């Protein structure tokens, strides 16, 4: 069994374009895992290998790899930074022990970095901060540091290294604790030297700040610091590591992943400051999915196996690949485990370590490892895996709610089954995709995290399954109702020679409170309509309601009383009374002040304080009714009721208003009467179709 203390399992997180994948490729090259430096720009990255990623020059999925560093093994996840793909980042963070947060030295902290930081907070992950791309034009370490410290107040971001130069003159870094300077050649090899003379005052100033920040986390050291006593390097090292592991300090360094500058110090920080599986916050579990979280799983290789699925990949040829973090125990090939969520036993053959786009068969894996097996029957992302005799359930984070929806259809007739089978397979791989059917509009609705997410999904479907999918704006499911009362007769009489048709029904129609549905009341007395025909009258009314009267949308919230009628001994039939009921209802409906109901959604928007006014004004312009606001630190949560038709393009609008720093969720609230202009538009759009039919 391997030494778990030498394992580091981390994630690289940041906003898209901050250089995560380039940095990860540089780590692999520097540690001689790869013999060439993979490039995102040139499409040669071993981590961004999907055609959709190569096309966009951006990570759309989390990728995994490992490399050795100074007798330790670092397993990492290169996570996507695009707003549309952050659910993958959040899910993967459940399976790591620490995070390396990259911030662009020019663009500084952006929205996805903020969200990745918040995810790390939620999972209690210690983290390091790398101010990357120091070689870029206009790169500014101290301005970026100030931005980081302003936005991220906890853990406290404290520089551990300072850059030597910037832009084209960025050549190395100074280690503030060791007071050593390192310069780098084109291969990433470091040469230790003296601190540049012009930097000496700056290094002294920031070293003092670093020592003070470290001392503040330790009662004994703060006393020594205040009394002016010398604090030894060993004391500083020990206190710094304790402060990082406890989430009090996030060390900051400078680097250029593209030019291989400062990477060895980052790796030293990962091994020296971030936790092993034994040092991370323990995983809490329960014996069953419904039980209390009263079980703590120690990362013991000799303990019963337990794990958590953090990603699923579905391939039409290779089958399903299930990726999971081993929390305790040791796995070997040709074994199995219990899926605790589903109560099903799973068997597998080979056990794989992930190496970007390839997998390497391994003979065993233990705590901290992220591994994969293929062709499991039922295990999906978020499921808990465990030894059959020692089940343990880990509560996984629920997937983020989709924010955009499209009506989807096959581009070619006859491909419908293939299209929807392909989308269903994609929903197994990507839990933020939802495929539902709108029974009213008869549309299949695909929902996702944004336009880019949906577009990339359809590209993948075409590549993997060979079918094209068309996207349309979904129809809004309006409904019809009434505001008045009426009493009318519906008489159906038809004579064609021989037996005719005769049905006569008199009904009273009146509105019901919103959300009441439909009530049918039989008030026939004296047998004016025989008992056997009354259900037929109701059936005719129900069918007329389903097809609508003025707009083709279902009728709701009304009461029909069958009060009178007549029949013919020979010509009356169930069909005749069904038609009579339908005729009576349609005639009465037109006399009862018909109107249109539109679906109203509960919109919850989370935005930084500075955008609150703009967002609230925009909600009002969409006919929204503000319900209230809540303050969460520097963010505001706005709740409002807004008509669904006004929110079909809300996602890009909110992104534009807030620079991508706002997020929102939607859920159905209720139906409400549409204003006259909406009502008239819905009715007028139906008439041409009605006349055509």
Place of tokens 């336009």: 451
Res. 693 pLDDT band, cuts 50 70 90 = very low
Distance CA 514, CA 531 (A): 31
Give the domain 291-386 fold.
Elongation Factor Tu (Ef-tu); domain 3 (2.40.30)
pTM of the model: 0.86
Please give the CATH architecture assigned to the domain spanning 4-273: 3-Layer(aba) Sandwich (3.40)
Res. 291 pLDDT band, cuts 50 70 90 = confident
Residue 155 has pLDDT above 60, yes or no: yes
Query: In this predicted structure, what is the pLDDT of residue 1?
Result: 58
Residue 691 has pLDDT above 60, yes or no: no
* Cα separations in angstroms, 574 against 496, 497, 534: 18, 19, 8
Contact 152, 131 (CB under 8 A): no
Query: In this predicted structure, what is the pLDDT of residue 288?
Result: 86
The chain-wide mean pLDDT, for the chain, equals 93
Query: In this predicted structure, what is the pLDDT of residue 688?
Result: 52
Q: Report which of 269, 268, 295, 266 is spatially closest to residue 282, judged by C-alpha positions.
A: 295
Res. 647 pLDDT band, cuts 50 70 90 = very high
Q: Which residues contact 279 (CB under 8 A, 6 or more apart)?
A: 97, 245
Q: Which residues contact 128 (CB under 8 A, 6 or more apart)?
A: 98, 99, 100, 101, 244, 250, 251, 252, 253, 266, 269, 270, 273, 274
Contact 645, 598 (CB under 8 A): yes
Distance CA 261, CA 136 (A): 13
Identify the three-state secondary structure at position 508: strand
Helices 416-429 and 451-465, packing angle to 10 deg: 120
Q: Report which of 1, 55, 49 is spatially closest to residue 21, judged by C-alpha positions.
A: 49
Residue 572 — φ and ψ, nearest 5°? -70, 145
Dig out the tokens for 288 from the structure.
């069953």
Q: Which residues contact 62 (CB under 8 A, 6 or more apart)?
A: 11, 77, 78, 79, 80, 88, 89, 91, 92, 311
Write a three-state SS string for 651-670.
HHHHHHHHCCCCEEEEEEEE
Res. 616 pLDDT band, cuts 50 70 90 = very high
Query: In this predicted structure, what is the pLDDT of residue 676?
Result: 94
From the candidate CATH numbers 3.30.230.10, 3.30.930.10, 3.30.10.20, 1.20.1530.20, the one assigned to the domain spanning 480-592: 3.30.230.10
Contact 394, 327 (CB under 8 A): yes
> For residue 563, what is the DSSP state?
E
Query: In this predicted structure, what is the pLDDT of residue 315?
Result: 79
Residue 272 has pLDDT above 90, yes or no: yes
Give burial (CB, 10 Å; 0-12/13-18/19+) of 44: middle
Q: What is the DSSP string of 368-426?
A: T-EEEEE--SS--TT-EEE-TTS--B--PPPPPPP-EEEEEEESSTT-HHHHHHHHHHH
Query: In this predicted structure, what is the pLDDT of residue 319?
Result: 81
Query: In this predicted structure, what is the pLDDT of residue 261?
Result: 98
Residue 488 — φ and ψ, nearest 5°? -140, 165
Q: Nearest-5° angle of CA 520, CA 524, CA 527? A: 140
Q: Nearest-5° angle of CA 113, CA 119, CA 123? A: 145
- Where do you find CATH 3.30.70.870 in the chain? 404-472
- Report long-range pairs for 151-156 (Cβ below 8 Å, ≥24 apart): 151/109, 151/114, 152/109, 152/117, 152/250, 154/121, 154/247, 155/126, 155/127, 155/244, 155/247, 155/248, 155/249, 155/250, 156/213, 156/248, 156/249, 156/250
Average pLDDT of the segment spanning 525-550: 95
Res. 532 pLDDT band, cuts 50 70 90 = very high
Contact 580, 493 (CB under 8 A): no
Query: In this predicted structure, what is the pLDDT of residue 137?
Result: 96
pLDDT in tens, 321-370: 999 999 999 999 999 999 999 999 999 999 999 999 899 999 999 999 99
- Where do you find CATH 3.30.230.10 in the chain? 480-592
Give the domain 597-677 fold.
Alpha-Beta Plaits (3.30.70)
- Where do you find CATH 2.40.30.10 in the chain? 291-386
What superfamily does domain 404-472 belong to in CATH?
Elongation Factor G (Translational Gtpase), domain 3 (3.30.70.870)
Residue 675 has pLDDT above 80, yes or no: yes
Residue 407 — φ and ψ, nearest 5°? -80, 130
* Cα separations in angstroms, 78 against 73, 108, 121, 273: 16, 19, 18, 20
HSE-up (13 A, CA, CB side) for residue 60: 22
Dig out the tokens for 152 from the structure.
């991220």
- Where do you find CATH 3.40.50.300 in the chain? 4-273
Distance CA 176, CA 192 (A): 13
Distance CA 268, CA 264 (A): 6
- Where do you find CATH 3.30.70.240 in the chain? 597-677
Cis link prior to 241 (omega < 30° from 0)?
no
For the chain, the straight-line distance linking the first and the last C-alpha, in angstroms and rounded, comes to: 74
Identify the three-state secondary structure at position 181: strand
Q: Which residues contact 383 (CB under 8 A, 6 or more apart)?
A: 308, 309, 339, 340, 341, 342, 396
Distance CA 585, CA 665 (A): 39
Place of tokens 């577009």: 455
pLDDT in tens, 207-266: 999 999 999 999 999 999 888 888 999 999 999 999 999 999 999 999 999 999 999 999
Query: In this predicted structure, what is the pLDDT of residue 692?
Result: 45
Average pLDDT of the segment spanning 597-604: 95
Contact 123, 93 (CB under 8 A): yes
Distance CA 549, CA 481 (A): 10
């Amino acid at each position: 069994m391997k030494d778990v203390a030498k394992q580091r399992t981390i994630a690289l997180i940041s906003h898209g374009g901050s250089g995560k994948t380039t940095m990860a490729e540089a780590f692999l090259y520097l540690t001689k895992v790869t013999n060439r430096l993979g490039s995102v720009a040139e499409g040669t990255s071993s981590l961004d290998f999907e055609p959709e990623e190569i096309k966009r020059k951006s990570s759309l999925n989390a990728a995994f790899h490992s490399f050795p560093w100074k007798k330790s093994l670092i397993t990492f996840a290169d996570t996507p930074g695009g707003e549309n793909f952050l659910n993958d980042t959040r899910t993967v963070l459940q399976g790591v022990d620490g995070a390396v947060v990259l911030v662009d030295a020019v663009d500084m902290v952006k929205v996805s970095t903020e969200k990745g930081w918040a995810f790390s907070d939620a999972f209690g992950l210690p983290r390091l901060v790398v101010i990357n791309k120091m070689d870029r034009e206009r790169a500014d370490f101290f301005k970026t540091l100030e931005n980081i410290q302003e936005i991220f107040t906890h853990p406290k971001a404290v520089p551990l290294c300072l850059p030597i130069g910037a832009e084209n003159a960025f050549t190395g870094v100074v280690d503030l604790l060791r007071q050593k300077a390192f310069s780098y050649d084109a291969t990433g090899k470091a040469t230790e030297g003296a601190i540049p003379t012009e930097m000496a005052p700056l290094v002294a100033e920031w070293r003092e700040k670093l020592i003070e920040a470290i001392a503040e986390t330790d009662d004994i050291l703060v006393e020594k610091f205040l009394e002016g006593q010398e604090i030894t390097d060993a004391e500083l090292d020990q206190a710094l590591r304790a402060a990082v592991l406890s989430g009090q300090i996030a060390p900051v360094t400078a680097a250029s992943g593209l030019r291989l500058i400062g990477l060895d110090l980052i790796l030293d920080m990962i091994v020296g400051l971030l936790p092993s599986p034994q040092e991370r916050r323990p995983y809490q579990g329960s014996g069953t999915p419904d039980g209390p979280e009263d079980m703590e799983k120690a990362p013991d290789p000799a303990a019963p196996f337990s794990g958590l699925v953090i990603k699923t990949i579905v391939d039409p040829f290779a089958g399903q690949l299930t990726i999971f973090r081993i929390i305790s125990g040791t796995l070997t090939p040709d074994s199995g485990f219990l899926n605790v969520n589903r109560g099903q036993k799973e068997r597998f053959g080979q056990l794989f370590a992930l190496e970007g786009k390839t997998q390497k068969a391994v003979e065993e894996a233990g705590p901290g490892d992220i591994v994969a097996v293929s062709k499991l029957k039922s295990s999906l992302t978020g499921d808990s895996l465990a030894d059959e005799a020692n089940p343990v359930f880990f509560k996984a984070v629920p997937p983020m709610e989709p924010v955009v929806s499209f009506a989807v259809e096959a581009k070619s007739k006859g491909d419908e089954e293939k299209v929807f089978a392909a989308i269903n397979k994609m929903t197994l791989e990507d839990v933020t995709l939802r495929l539902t059917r709108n029974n009213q509009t008869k549309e299949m609705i695909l929902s996702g995290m944004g336009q880019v997410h949906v577009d990339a999904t359809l590209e993948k479907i075409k590549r993997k399954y060979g079918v094209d999918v068309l996207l349309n704006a979904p129809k809004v499911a309006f409904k019809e109702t009434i505001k008045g009362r009426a009493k009318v007769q519906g008489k159906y009489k038809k004579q064609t020679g021989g037996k005719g048709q005769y049905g006569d029904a008199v009904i009273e129609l009146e509105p019901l409170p919103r959300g009441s549905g439909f009530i049918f009341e039989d008030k026939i007395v004296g047998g004016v309509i025989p008992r056997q025909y009354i259900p037929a009258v109701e059936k005719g009314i129900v069918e007329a309601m389903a097809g609508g009267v003025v707009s083709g949308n279902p009728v709701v919230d009304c009461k029909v009383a069958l009060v009178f009628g007549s029949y013919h001994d020979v010509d009356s039939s169930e069909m005749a009374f069904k038609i009579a009921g339908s005729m009576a209802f349609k005639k009465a409906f037109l006399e009862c002040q018909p109107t249109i109901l539109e679906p109203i959604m509960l919109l919850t928007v989370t935005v930084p304080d500075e955008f609150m006014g703009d967002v609230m004004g925009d909600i009002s312009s969409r006919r929204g009714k503000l319900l209230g606001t809540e303050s969460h630190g520097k963010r505001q949560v706005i709740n409002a009721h807004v008509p669904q038709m006004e929110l079909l393009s809300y996602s890009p609008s909110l992104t534009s208003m807030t620079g991508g720093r706002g997020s929102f969720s939607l859920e159905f609230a209720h139906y409400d009467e549409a204003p006259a202009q909406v009502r008239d538009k819905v009715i007028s759009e139906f008439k041409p179709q009605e006349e055509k039919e």
